[in-house]
Amino acid sequence: MSEKKAYTQAFQTGKYNKASGLLGKYDNVRRFWEDQVTAIFLRSALNDLIERKKKRLERIRILDLGCGIGDGYDLIMGVTTNDPGIYDTIVNAVTDEMLKEYVGIDINENLVQQALDYYDNHPKLRFEVADIAQGMIPGILDQESPFDFYFTSFGTLSHFTNEQCIKIVADICGHAPEHAIFMGDWLGRYSVEWQDLWHHPADQEHFMDYRMSYIYPEEERTTADVAAFPLKLVCRKEVESIIESASKKAGVAIKPLVYFDRSIFIGRHLDTGDYNQNCPKLRGPVNALFEKYVRTDLENLLVDYVPRPGFDHLNNFFDSFFMSFNALVKYTMGLLGDHDCHNGKLKCIPDILPYYPKPLQEAMETMRRVIESVGWLDWGDVRANLIESVLGFALRKLEMELQPGTGVGHGLVGIFEIKK
Ligand SMILES: C[S@@+](CC[C@H](N)C(=O)[O-])C[C@H]1O[C@@H](n2cnc3c(N)ncnc32)[C@H](O)[C@@H]1O
C-alpha cells in the first residue's frame, strides 16, 4: 500500500511525466530559442552592469516584476559573458557570488507559492505577492533598497494600460540607483499569429482576448473551456512613447539600448490558428528539429504566406521574411538529397546567390559545411541528432538578424539604461 502511495505521490509531483520537448510550457522552442534569444540580447547590458559593479566592489540586486514561478531567475543566471569557444568553460555573467539578491513579485499567490516551493528557501531569492497595476510607489518599492536590474519577461507589461506602464516605469526610475538597467517585455501588435487583429487603429490602445489554447493538445482545443484574459498589443512607437512619458514624469534619462522582436517564426499561437486561420504551423516542426532521435519532415517547415489585404507594408515584410526562411529550408533539403552516404560527398551544391540577405547566405554556408562534415556518420542518427538541430539554430539566427524590433513578433522587448 505504501508503495502505491509513494508512486502516486511521485506521479503527482509531475516529475514522472515523460520528458518531451515537443509540447508544453518548456518545449524546445522556449528553451533553445526564446530563452536563448532573450539571453543573447541581454548579454551586453548585463555584462556592462556586472563590470561596473565589480569595480565598485558591489554585488547586484535584481527585481523581477510579474515573476510568475520565477523563470526569470534561471534566464538571467543563464546569460553568459560571451560565446564560449569549443573547449572553453562557459562563464555566466552573474555568478552566484556576484548576486546579492533576486526578488520576484507577482499578483498571483499560487504562482508565488510555486516559486517558493521550487527554489526551496534559496538564501538569495525572495518572492512576494504584490499588485503593481497602480505603480509601485508608495507601497512596494519604498520598502526596498534600490535594484540594479528591473526585469520583466514574456509579455508581462501587456497586462497594463499605457498609463499604468508609464507609472510603473516612472516608479522604477524614481527608485533606481544612479545607474541601472530595465527590460520591458510586451506582446507585439503585428505578429502574423494575430493577423485578424491588425486592423485595430495603431493610435488607440488595443487589448486582445488572449487564450492559452496552445497548452491543450490540438484535438482538445476547440472543446476545452479555455479562459480568455486581456493582453495589450504594442508596436515600437507605443513603447517609445511610454518610455518618453515615464522619463519626463520621473525627470530621469532613459536610454534605449536595443529593441528586438522575439518569436516571429515560432510564436505559440502559430499552431493554434486562433487569430489567423492561415497561420503557418511552425512551432511543432521547429520543436521536432531540436528533439533528439526525431526526424522532422522538412516540408512541414515551408511557409505559404497568405497576405492580409490592406497591409502592404506588413505583407511585404512577412513575404520576404518567410521567403528567406523557405530558401534556407529548401537549401538544406537539397543538400540532404544530394549527399552521398558512401563517400560522404555532396553531388552538387546549390548556389548561394550574392543578393540574398547576409544572414541567409551565412546560414546556408553553415548548413553546407555541417552536412559535408558530419553527413557520413552512420550511427546515432546524424540527421535527427546533429543536422536538424543546426538547422533549428540557423533559423533562429535568421530571425535574430532579420528582425526589425518594431512589434512584428509574438514579443516586443526593449532593454534600457537608466542614468541619473
Ligand atoms: C506573461 S506572465 C509572465 C510570467 C513570468 N515572467 C515568465 O516569464 O514566465 C505575466 C505575469 O504577470 C503577472 N501579473 C499580471 N498582473 C499583475 C499585477 N497587476 N501585478 C503583478 N503581477 C501581475 C501574472 O500573474 C503573470 O505571472
Between the CA of 73 and the centroid of ligand 1 the distance, in Å, is: 14
For residue 274, the number of C-alpha atoms closer than 13 Å in the C-beta half-sphere is 19
* 279-288 core/surface letters (b: 16 or more CB in 10 A; e: else): bbebbbbbbb
Q: Of the residues 62, 107, 131, which should be mutated to test ligand 1's pocket, given the most ligand atoms within 8 Å of the CB?
A: 107
Predicted local distance difference test score (pLDDT) of residue 136: 80
For residue 238, the model assigns a pLDDT of 97
Q: Find out whether 152 and 64 touch, Cβ atoms under 8 Å.
A: yes
Atom of ligand 1 nearest to the CA of 108: 25
Residue nearest to atom 13 of ligand 1 (CA): 66
Cα-to-centroid distance, 208 and ligand 1 (Å): 16
Q: How far is Cα 393 from Cα 320, in angstroms, rounded to an integer?
A: 20
Other Cβ atoms less than 10 A from the Cβ of 63: the count is: 27
If you measure from the C-alpha of residue 108 to the centroid of ligand 1, how many angstroms do you get, rounded to a whole number?
Answer: 8
Phi-psi region of 63 (alpha: psi -120 to 50; beta: other; left: phi over 0): beta
Which CATH number applies to 19-192+235-263+410-419?
A: 3.40.50.150
Positions of the chain with pLDDT lower than 70, given as ranges: 1-19
Residue corresponding to grid cell 487583429: 197
227-278, pLDDT tens digit by residue?
Answer: 889 999 999 999 999 999 999 999 999 999 999 999 999 999 998 889 999 9
- CA nearest neighbour of 212 among 185, 188, 231: 231
Predicted local confidence at residue 125, as pLDDT = 97
Compute, in angstroms, the gap from residue 231 CA to the centroid of ligand 1. Answer: 11
Residues lining ligand 1, judged by CB closer than 6 Å?
66-68, 71-72, 106-108, 111, 131-133, 153-156, 159
Output the pLDDT for position 222.
74
Question: How far, in Å, CA of 333 to CA of 326, rounded?
Answer: 10
pLDDT of residue 18: 62
pLDDT of residue 228: 86
Among 79, 234, 117, CA closest to 166 = 234
Give 412 Cα–ligand 1 centroid separation in angstroms.
Answer: 16
In the reported structure, the alpha carbon of residue 72 is separated from the centroid of ligand 1 by a whole-number distance in angstroms of 11
Q: What is the pLDDT of residue 154?
A: 95
Give me the pLDDT at residue 9, please.
59
- pLDDT, tens digit, for every residue of 340-393? 877 778 887 888 999 999 999 999 999 999 999 998 888 899 999 999 999 999
pLDDT at position 218 is 77
What is the structure's pLDDT at 351?
86
Q: What pLDDT does residue 384 have?
A: 96
Q: Which residues contact 43 (CB under 8 A, 6 or more apart)?
A: 79, 80, 81, 82, 93
Q: Where are the domains of the chain?
A: 19-192+235-263+410-419, 283-402
HSE on the CB side for 246, CA within 13 Å?
28
